[in-house]
């Protein structure tokens, strides 16, 4: 079963708007990671947030983590057409080292 599940599955916005994607997970984690994938290409790491952190920023990205709700969100501010991609959350399980990815959110930013 999927450990991380992203919501929504697809999101379409205009350039300049903010995009928010959510991720829920089921088991305990030691960190949660967000990745980006341009169509058919390898994933690129965006940001990692540890289980003892609540919020983290990187440029136009803001990630929050709520371990009590087992959820995380990724906010992309002032979106650009170049942000069009699929975004995945991933978690290494706390008692194991396998990595679980969600099915992803497909973001389309219209110019």
Partner 1 sequence: EAQVTQNPRYLITVTGKKLTVTCSQNMNHEYMSWYRQDPGLGLRQIYYSMNVEVTDKGDVPEGYKVSRKEKRNFPLILESPSPNQTSLYFCASSKATGTSIHNEQFFGPGTRLTVL
In terms of CB distance, is 2 or 18 closer to partner 1? 2
Beta bridge partners of 74: 21, 63
Interface contacts to partner 1, rule CB under 8 A: 2, 30-31, 33, 35, 40-45, 48, 50, 88, 90, 92, 97-104
| Torsion sign across C-alpha atoms 22, 27, 32, 34 | negative
Total Cβ atoms within 10 A of residue 79: 21
Minimal distance in Å, beta carbon 98 to partner 1? Answer: 5
Read off the DSSP letter of residue 9.
S
In terms of CB distance, is 13 or 48 closer to partner 1? 48
In terms of CB distance, is 17 or 57 closer to partner 1? 57
């Amino acid at each position: 079963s999927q450990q991380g599940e992203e919501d929504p599955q697809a999101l379409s916005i205009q350039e300049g708007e903010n995009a928010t994607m959510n991720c829920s997970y089921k088991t305990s984690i030691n960190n949660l990671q967000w990745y980006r994938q341009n169509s058919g290409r390898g994933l690129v790491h965006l940001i990692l947030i540890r289980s003892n952190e609540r919020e983290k920023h990187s440029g136009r990205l803001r990630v929050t983590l709520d371990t009590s709700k087992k959820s995380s969100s990724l906010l992309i501010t002032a979106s650009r057409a170049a942000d069009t991609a699929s975004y995945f959350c991933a978690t290494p399980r706390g008692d194991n080292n396998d990595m679980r990815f969600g099915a992803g959110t497909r973001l389309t930013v219209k110019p």
